[in-house]
Structure 1
Amino acid sequence: MTFLSHIKRHFGDGNYDGDQFGGAGGHNGSGLPTSNAGNFMFATGIECSYPTIQNGTVRRDQLRECGHYDRYKEDLGLVKEMGLKVLRYGLPYYSIHKSPGKFDWEFADLAMAEIKRLGITPILDLLHFGVPDWIGNFQNPELPVHFADFCEAVAKRYPWVRYYTPVNEIYVTARISGKDGVWNEQLKTDKGFITALKHCVAASIMGNQQIAKHRNDCVIVQSESAEYIHELCATPSAETTLNNELRFLSLDLLYANPPSSTVAMYMMDNGLTRAEYDWFMAGKPPGYQIMGNDYYGRNERIKLPDGRIETSMDVLGWYEITRDYYERYHMPVMHTETNVFEADQAPVWLYKQWVSILRMRRDGVPVLGFTWYSLIDQIDWDIQLAEVKNHVNECGLFDLDRKPRPVAQAYKDILKEFGQITIVPYGEMLEMTDQPARLKVNV
């Protein structure tokens, strides 16, 4: 008799007792997400941008324009209906923070109560492309202090919330407001860009500090745009080379990672002082930090020899670009935003993003979550909200009538197949706990 014959004689032909605990008969991770703390964070978001345009005279509040204030219960119910447990959710900072020490919580309390009732885990987005009128814009050096007060007020008011994005897409905020001249201060200068960027990073750090005071196990999901410019020239221009380095700058300052000498000189030339630089380099903010990368095909661009810029749509893709960010910071990763504006192309785009995530995880990079952004269609994002044209961008899981788009079913199919995988492979033994963040470094 062979050893296998003996085993079959004593224990049977497979389906052994014990195999159900992660052995041959273990669970493959299929099924809708659970409330388990170690569950991979499948998420969506509700678009909540609120920059000003036309020299501060027009406020583009996407929560209002897309009907969320009136339909918030319906919208949150759609998150639940999708089978999602995690939601990137923005509290409208510009309308809540009325003046120093004064807050209007009326809508926030209603929405947060419903989120809690539905058992949804919010990643609270506290500053999304705009500030209150009384603060002015991102050139105001008092922004970090005022914003820190707001963050503390939020943490005290909703002590059950653990996940936060203090300042959304810092690099994009600073570039479009201070360099591209589209929003808020509408400047078109390098100094305007650096000033906005350092104020936003400082605001994020100080807001993070205040959150950690009241929630010492806070998880900070920093959402930043994953960018790249390809230049079709035998000798790339200094401008393109610099821009491909500047895409890291917000995270360099946030995570105390010394930038290149070229970028350091650029910052010093445009208003960053040595004392400010040393302050940023003191160390990472407190809590558990996750590096969120937002990737849209339009983030990746090709500069032609005649200077024209074309959207390249997925030459490198989320995998290759995010790998650059991971190798720079070695932080846990989350895919925090993606979509396409063409509803019929959205399912394939979703599949491509998910394939990239699976490959990244198999290559040993800890990818903890994924977000289709957003739940509902958006308005005028094809022109970066620069004008009020009321053009509907068909990028939501649901349209503005709250009817599902094809991508909603595609996402549900992914949830059914992968919904119970853990944040990292074998993460059952390392589930996120409520222990306070303590270690300064990881070794």
Structure 2
Amino acid sequence: MPLMEINLGDDRVNDWFMVVMLWVLPLLSLLLASVAALMFAGNLPQFLRWRAGELSPTEEEPSISVLIPARNEATGITRTVNAVLANTGVVLEVVVLDDDSVDGTGELVQQIADQDPRVRLISSPELPAGWNGKQHACCRLAEAAQFDLLLFLDADVRLKPTALQQLTRRKAQYAETGPAKGKPIALLSAFPNQETGSLSEKMLIPMMHYILLCYLPFSRMRSRTDPGYAAGCGQVFVTDREAYQRSGTHAAIRATRHDGIHLPRIYRQNGMLTDCVDGAGLATCRMYHGAAQVVRGMLKNAHEGIANWRLLVPFTILLAGASLLPYVTLGYALVQYAAGDHRISIWFAALVSVAAIFLSHLPRWVAAWKLPQSPTGAFLHPVAIGLFLTLQWCAFVMHLCGQQIAWRGRDS
């Protein structure tokens, strides 16, 4: 009798397991993939929309200070500065802060400054305790700026000739709807065209667009000043001096490595509107070179993004549920079918899983076409999701253990 009860219990467990694997989990994966795909479909046109419109040759020329923190950037700093100087339709200056470089970065900038009075080189004082190197450099650069419009530019970003004029035009716009209607854009961020070389770059670098466009409601971000909608790309930020001072400047985020999130957040905490747009036609950037740099780059500030106790579990469910789970449920259905089980539930699980797989890939394929990104990375999307989540969990564990990735010779 006890054996019969155990067998009955095992049958019930098996039945419940089958229900979960063939009905519940396939539907869950389809739901999560659908939410991400629908959010992407709504966000992408808004992200790209501002591309429209031709520049007027009679448009007033704004004055702008382009501020570049540079630490050991000798391989590319000359191209970066010359690309800024090639911009038309603006009055500009370029201020570069040489942050204790040991590779001749400062000397290269000074050579350009000797030929062009629009370029200035300043040196960084000793990094104060409690400051991140980039945030300290940006703070000092803003103090040295001549003009009231400020563009913070990473040293590996190459601007196109009309980029500054286009960015200042967008910065001058206002919120069109919602509680923030009529508020000016106090801080604008642009996502450059991300150049990729290695396979790891092709898979993982586009994840920044995937997370942004699949999980941030752009309509709310552009109509409200809530800090929860803060988003940006630390490679290109445009602001004005008054708003920058009101936000608390980079001093308010002095310890962070992740200005892409934290700088927009302090603006919003002070009631100001921020925006982020596609900058693929305005600038290019090669963030990392090879797998080792990709891994280190993604680990160094992951805790300030997703890899923390508030976001890591929800995003693991969202990303893995939409992009990895349907492969598991499809595989299970195929194994059951091969074993001779041809019930309708097997067909249901297989078809729903295939639909979820299609929807989970769709944003990456559309992004590869529109932004543009690598088709190879889009094809390997589930592998990218698996690697991305693995790195986030590694970063979380490292943070709990008090470990931090050094970047450009610094732990801060």
Taking CA–CA contacts closer than 8 Å with sequence separation of 6 or more, which of the two structures ends up with the larger relative contact order?
2
TM-score bin (small chain): under 0.3
Q: TM (normalized to structure 2)?
A: 0.25
Larger radius of gyration between Structure 1 and Structure 2:
2
Give the structure with the higher percent helix.
2
